[in-house]
Amino acid sequence: MVTNPNVNESSPEVAGEYRSTIDLPEQEVGRGDVSADRLLVQQDSDQEPSLTVVMPTLNEEAGVEECIDRIKTAIAEMGVVTEIIVSDSSTDRTPEIARENGAVVVEPNEGGYGNAYKYAFDHARGEYVAIGDADTTYDFEELPQLLELANRDDVDMAMGSRLNGEIKSGAMPALHQYVGNPLLTRFLNTFYDAGVSDAHSGFRVIDRDALEELELRTGGMEFASEMIMDAAAKDMTIEEMPITYYEREGEATLDSFQDGWRHVKFMLMNAPGYLFSAPAAVFTALGAVVMALSLFGAQLGSVSFGLPTMIGGSLFTIVGYQIWTLTMFSSAATNPIREPEDPVTGVVRDRFSLEQGASLGILTFLGGAGVLSYAIVAWTITGWAPVPSMTASLFASTVTVVGIQTVFCSFFLSMLESEKRAV
């Protein structure tokens, strides 16, 4: 935790304040650019920064200088030794402007929003890491309040919420403000229990220990979602504060629909419980109920259950079971951020063995095949007369198919588990 050396430790104002790791005379703190320049360190400095501010840049020469100036104003106010890292993939004068204004410029090996951040994180030395765009949309002079929030004992990440704050005219398209961002945030909260109001705000401060615990893999715009998803999955504490969002300087690089779909796809692919388990449970439960009602020829109001409904129930059951096997395959073959949490998948994942799965499949197959064999024998004895109970035969056929699927799925799941252990 960081505190300001110029605040009396017995003062009630000490809570949530910061400590600069450089010894400055009290009269210099908060004097503007002079004190900010003294607080700003380079990578070759022996002085360890308390705060690292990271900005990814792609041709941001119109806004990067103003952002750095605002960061300097903020660190002068806080009295915190800071390094500014610009992770740059520009073809304009952005890196030169950044260096001239005291920032450290690094060039990631690969393009992409996420790759820019991950590369910069490898070079960051601060106890806290702040991130934000270099296009003047975020006011870095609000950094002291965000750092104060992150500095609380129980907070791992602090975020600025644009949707709970003020969005200046022209700063965000109406489609993003009223549809895109709220909808994506709701998806993320539903799938990952993040409990945030603006999941795609790029203005954040995270504790260094928490950052190192995150497993960040994506290289594109999905990185913004991944950070929140993984933090929520690891039960980290995320707090927010309202911020002001401004119109950007320079040309926008976002593709609304393509980037939005990439976020949704990434969220679903890392939450197989919602992608597979939930639909599987619905299909299987509906199919089983319809098959049971059809098997006993139930009558519900004006609806009569029989052969036609048995066909539908059989299809629903087989489809549901097939989707559920995809839950198991995805859990075994990948490392999703949010593992499926339904009890059936949990039991199979924790206790599965090829022998048990194959044995269960064989027993299921024999049960269904036995009923079918009896029906075939009865059919031949009666001289190929019409089958007396097509609904029972179709039920047995469904059980037989599920048994066969279970046997082969058990072998495939065992192969995936073996491959995962080998890796």
Does 6 have pLDDT greater than 70?
no
Distance from C-alpha of 251 to C-alpha of 62, rounded to nearest angstrom: 9
Confidence class for position 108, pLDDT limits 50, 70, 90: very high
Q: What is the pLDDT averaged over residues 230-241?
A: 95
82 forms beta bridges with 40, 51
**Which is more confidently placed, 210 or 4?**
210
- Quick one: pLDDT at residue 19? 43
Confidence class for position 131, pLDDT limits 50, 70, 90: very high
Strands (E), 280-323: 299-300, 303-304
Q: What is the pLDDT averaged over residues 277-300?
A: 92
Decide: 17 and 50 in contact? Cβ < 8 Å: no
Q: What is the pLDDT averaged over residues 192-216?
A: 95
**Mean pLDDT, rounded, of the chain:** 86
Distance from C-alpha of 62 to C-alpha of 57, rounded to nearest angstrom: 11
Q: What percent of the chain has pLDDT over 70?
A: 88
- Quick one: pLDDT at residue 404? 95
Q: Which of 17-21, 34-38, 116-120, 234-238 has the lowest mean pLDDT?
A: 17-21
Distance from C-alpha of 141 to C-alpha of 136, rounded to nearest angstrom: 11
- Quick one: pLDDT at residue 262? 84
**Which is more confidently placed, 256 or 394?**
394
Task: Assign domain 12-269 to its CATH superfamily.
Answer: Spore Coat Polysaccharide Biosynthesis Protein SpsA; Chain A (3.90.550.10)
* Phi, then psi, of 376 in degrees rounded to 5: -70, -45
Does 393 have pLDDT greater than 50?
yes
Cβ partners under 8 Å of residue 191, min gap 6 = 229, 267, 268, 271, 274, 338
Does 10 have pLDDT greater than 60?
no
For the beta carbon of residue 10, count every other beta carbon within 10 angstroms: 6
Q: What percent of the chain has pLDDT over 90?
A: 63
Predicted TM-score (pTM) of the model is: 0.77
* Phi, then psi, of 244 in degrees rounded to 5: -100, 135
Domain boundaries, the chain: 12-269, 272-422
